[in-house]
Structure 1
C-alpha cells in the first residue's frame, strides 16, 4: 500500500493505492497522518480500535477518515500506523442489503501519538470534493481531499 500527498488549492490531497480495499483504506489513513506532520515518533503511543459503519463503500472511506479527525481532536493524539482489520461488504453478511444504512462496516486499529510530541498541521476535515474510490487492474485507488 502506498500514498502520495498532492497540493490542492488551499487544501491537501492524498492519492492512495493498494492491492486490496483494506490496503487502500490504510494507505489513505497513513496519508492523513503524513499530511498532518513531517515525522512521527516511533516509540510513543498506544494502539486503539476504530469501528465505522456506512451506507456505501465511498461513504465508509469518508466516515473512517472523518472518525480519525474526530478521534485526533477528542483524544489529543494523532492516529498513525493504521491497520485495517476487516471491511465487511453487504454481500459478506447474509441479512444485510445495499439499502441498509449501515451495510458497510470497518474494523481497524491505529497508534495514538500525543499531539504534544509532533509538530502537527491541523487537518480540519475530510471532504467529498473530488473524492474517488475505484477498483483498478492491480487493486484499488483512492483520492481524498482534506481541508486544512
Structure 2
C-alpha cells in the first residue's frame, strides 16, 4: 500500500493505492498524516472509533473527517492507522446497506510535532474505485 501527496490549488490531495479496501483507508489516512507533518515521533496512545455510512465513498469521507475531529478534540496527530471495513444489509433485498469502518490510530500529542492544520476533507474530486486487483483513491483536503 502506498500514498502520494499531490499539489492542488490552495489544498493538498492524497492519491493512494492498496491491495484491499481497509489498506486503502489506512493509506489515505497515512497521507493525511504526511500532509500534516513531515516527521512523526514514536509516542502517543492508541484510540479507537467506528464510523458508519451509506456508501464506500461516504465511509471514506466520514473516516477521514473523524480523524480530523479526533485531532481537534484530543489535541493529537493521528498516526499508525489500522482499519477494518465491512458492509451489512442488502440494498437489493429491500434493506438499506451500511458500510462500517472500525479503526484505531496512535495519537501523537500536537505539542510534540510541527503540524500544518488540515481544515477538512472534501468531496471535491474524490475518487474511490477498484482498478484491476488494487483499490485506488484520490482525496482533496482543505488546508
**TM-score band, normalised by the shorter chain?**
over 0.9
Question: What TM-score comes out, normalization by structure 1 length?
Answer: 0.92
* Number of residue pairs aligned between Structure 1 and Structure 2: 140
2:133 and 2:23 mapped to 1: Cα distance?
12
Question: What TM-score comes out, normalization by structure 2 length?
Answer: 0.95
Q: Where do 1:1-148 residues align within 5 Å?
A: 1-42=1-42, 44-84=43-83, 86-90=84-88, 96-98=89-91, 100=96, 103-148=98-143
Structure 2: gaps spanning 5 or more residues: none
Q: After TM superposition, which residue ranges in structure 1, 4 or more long, deviate above 6 angstroms? A: none
The Cα shift of 1:138 comes to: 2.4
1:147 and 1:112 mapped to 2: Cα distance?
21
2:80 and 2:17 mapped to 1: Cα distance?
16
Structure 1: gaps spanning 5 or more residues: 91-95
1:121 and 1:81 mapped to 2: Cα distance?
18
The Cα shift of 1:77 comes to: 0.3
